[in-house]
């Protein structure tokens, strides 16, 4: 976050923050200053007592140099004395926050320190530099190359919008994110941006139509909560960019909830999981109910995570309208063994599908959480304003997308009169209609009933590859993990008498692949309770006759050999094929395998559920591109 200032004597001084990482989840940002003189930039000088968060320094010219003002919260000294709940010394004081205390790492907004930095000017002029250096010249570029795959053609004002027409209703698709953290949260390695910079990132890079910064309530001061709402209003451009008020309620016992407010005035309440009365989701919902002027939805995230799973024993249909099925910074939490399942997704019984099976009617969204990746919620709203966007969220007219540009539209009924997120009236025909499209070729479309695939659209590999008669297609995952210590899983798979399906995209662990073999590198970690042991795997599709042999090795040790026909029968019966593992478990299990094209970027399908038993079922659709990017519709309950 550099601040550049011209000094009175013709010099330049720049001040910026430097990231200093400490053990575990502790860090600080120090301020460094450099002056530009006749011989170039002088070495940086760091300012004592400038340790703090990523707040930019303030710099102003004064006689003989500049005056620098910086925020500091003395976090270096605290970090050396204690660690936030990881077995170090306890924090000496606790900060009051809405009637309770915040995380130990946060102790108010800190103090301001000032320093004088001398100038090294004057610096050579541009004319003088041009005479001595061929590199010193003025460059002007006003052409911008559009790298975003989903953006409109150059010269148009708006990208073409997807529109869903259902009966006499017409909803436009808008893209957003409802889970993002700025430096206010101060919870990972301290590399989240400032609020102002983050809004520019949201607008310029992610191209959100709507979004919410959901910094942790437990380490947001009263002033920061006010500023989060204030900045949301400052950047609000009706019809173009719609920020919503939000915060994350963070319980280590029952899960994390993002609270998103509707079209409300500033002054929305904020609640901490550490505060008396709101330590459980029930307490949070009761507290929200005391403020009817501030309607909200609450969205659990990373269900299924060993680190902090969601407790589906808590639910309130007034607020629990949505759930995160995917995070850009982690992966999928759809169900156990899900495609792109995250490494810590090991807490059985707490995934998204588990909540749906428990009878909770929640729609699907994807979010980003931390980091610089971006996943999206697609929301179908009448217009792009706060009220209509919130109505779409509350009505579950949403789908989850790992990235922008992958669209899924699910409907039910004789004429598709029931839209995703809705409950179908009694007597509705169990006809499901799916429209899917992407920015790249689609690889598959799945239709699921009660969390199980009941219909799938996949490429016909026998026709596309002209496979010999009797050859099988066996999609699978080589799965490993849940070892009690850090474990290397580097290994290989070889097919004798068959083939490995070659694809354009591979699991990120794969380091080599050819027609007969696959090799990978991977490591899992175990963090003990409550963070658990990680898992991982690679996806691949094998082709061959029944007597082809599949051999898997971890390192130099053989983990198992099996006939392809026997393996196919085992996986088709819903069982795994166990492998010898150095620690934890290793197995071959049924999965998507390699992804190949359906031959189009858009497909439509209609499927009738012939097993109409009169009971209520939930249906949703899942779409996957050849590059592994995916989308999930909100369910329809019929």
Residues 100, 455: Cα–Cα separation, whole Å = 51
Residues 521, 11: Cα–Cα separation, whole Å = 52
3-class state of residue 457 by DSSP: strand
Residues 209, 512: Cα–Cα separation, whole Å = 40
Residue 355 is predicted with a pLDDT of: 97
Contact status, residue 177 vs residue 367, Cβ threshold 8 Å: yes
The model's pLDDT over 295-321, given as tens digits with 9 standing for 90+, comes to: 999 999 999 998 888 899 999 999 999
Residue 79 is predicted with a pLDDT of: 66
Residue 97 is predicted with a pLDDT of: 45
3-class state of residue 463 by DSSP: helix
* pTM assigned to the model: 0.87
Q: Which among 495, 595, 476 has a CA at the least distance from the CA of 538?
A: 476
Residues 88, 71: Cα–Cα separation, whole Å = 26
Higher-pLDDT residue of 92, 255 = 255
The model's pLDDT over 172-211, given as tens digits with 9 standing for 90+, comes to: 999 999 999 987 876 666 667 888 888 988 988 899 999 9
Higher-pLDDT residue of 94, 272 = 272
Residue 498 is predicted with a pLDDT of: 97
Question: Of 67-76, 458-467, 501-510, which gets the smallest average pLDDT?
Answer: 67-76
Residues 439, 402: Cα–Cα separation, whole Å = 13
Residues 285, 318: Cα–Cα separation, whole Å = 9
Residue 613 is predicted with a pLDDT of: 82
Side-chain half-sphere exposure of 608, counting CA atoms within 13 A: 5
Contact status, residue 5 vs residue 16, Cβ threshold 8 Å: no
């Amino acid at each position: 976050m550099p601040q550049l200032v011209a000094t009175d004597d013709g010099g330049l001084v720049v001040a910026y923050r430097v990231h200093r990482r400490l053990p575990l989840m502790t860090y600080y940002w120090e301020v460094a200053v450099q002056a530009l003189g006749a011989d170039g930039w002088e070495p940086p000088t760091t300012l004592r007592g400038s340790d703090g968060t990523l707040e930019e320094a303030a710099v102003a010219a004064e006689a003989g140099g500049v005056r620098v003002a910086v925020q500091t919260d003395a976090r270096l000294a605290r970090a050396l004395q204690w660690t936030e709940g990881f077995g170090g010394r306890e924090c000496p004081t606790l900060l009051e926050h809405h009637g309770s205390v915040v995380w130990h790492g946060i102790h108010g907004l800190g103090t301001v320190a000032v320093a004088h930095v001398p100038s090294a000017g004057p610096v050579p002029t541009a004319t003088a530099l041009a005479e001595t250096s061929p590199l010193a010249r003025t460059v002007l570029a006003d052409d911008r190359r559009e790298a975003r795959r989903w953006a409109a053609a150059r010269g148009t004002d708006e990208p073409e919008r997807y529109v869903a027409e259902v009966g006499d209703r017409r909803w436009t698709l808008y893209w957003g994110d409802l889970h993002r953290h700025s430096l206010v949260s101060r919870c990972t390695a301290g590399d989240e941006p400032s609020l102002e910079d983050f809004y520019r990132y949201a607008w310029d890079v992610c191209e959100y139509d709507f979004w919410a910064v959901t910094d942790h309530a437990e380490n947001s001061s009263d002033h920061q909560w006010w500023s989060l709402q204030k900045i949301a209003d400052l950047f609000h451009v009706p019809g173009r960019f719609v920020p919503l008020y939000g915060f994350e309620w963070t319980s280590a016992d029952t899960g994390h909830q993002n609270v998103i407010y509707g079209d409300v005035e500033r002054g929305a309440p904020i609640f901490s999981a550490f505060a008396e009365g709101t330590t459980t989701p029930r307490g949070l919902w009761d507290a929200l109910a005391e403020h009817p002027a501030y309607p909200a939805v609450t969205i659990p995230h990373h269900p299924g995570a060993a680190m902090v799973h969601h407790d589906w024993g808590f639910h309130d249909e007034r607020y629990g309208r949505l759930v995160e099925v995917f995070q850009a910074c982690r992966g999928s939490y759809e169900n156990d063994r899900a495609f792109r399942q995250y490494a810590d997704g090991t807490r059985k019984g707490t995934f998204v599908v588990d909540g749906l099976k428990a009878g909770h009617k929640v729609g699907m969204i994807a979010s980003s959480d931390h980091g610089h990746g971006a996943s999206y919620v697609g929301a179908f709203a009448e217009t792009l304003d706060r009220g209509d966007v919130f109505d779409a969220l509350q009505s579950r007219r949403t789908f989850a997308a790992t990235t922008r540009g992958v669209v899924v539209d699910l409907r039910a009924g004789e004429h598709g009169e029931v839209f995703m997120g809705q409950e179908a009236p009694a007597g509705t025909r169990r006809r499901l209609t799916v429209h899917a499209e992407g920015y790249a070729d689609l690889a598959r479309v799945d239709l699921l009933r009660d969390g199980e695939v009941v219909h799938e659209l996949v490429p016909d590999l026998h026709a596309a590859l002209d496979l010999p008669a009797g050859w099988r297609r066996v999609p699978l995952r080589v799965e490993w993990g849940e070892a009690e210590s850090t474990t290397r899983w580097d290994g290989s798979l070889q097919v004798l008498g068959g083939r490995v399906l070659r694809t354009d995209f591979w699991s990120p662990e794969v380091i080599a692949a050819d027609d007969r073999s696959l090799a990978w590198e991977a490591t899992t970690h175990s963090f003990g309770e409550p963070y658990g042991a990680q898992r991982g795997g690679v996806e691949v599709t094998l082709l061959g006759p029944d007597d082809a042999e599949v051999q898997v090795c971890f390192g130099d040790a053989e983990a198992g050999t099996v006939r392809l026909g026997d393996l196919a029968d085992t996986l088709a019966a819903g069982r795994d094929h166990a492998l010898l593992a150095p620690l934890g478990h290793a197995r071959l299990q049924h999965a998507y395998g390699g992804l190949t094209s359906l031959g189009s970027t858009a497909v439509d399908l209609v499927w009738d559920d012939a097993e109409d038993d009169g009971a209520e079922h939930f249906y949703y659709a899942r779409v996957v591109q050849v590059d592994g990017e995916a989308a999930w519709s909100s369910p329809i309950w019929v």
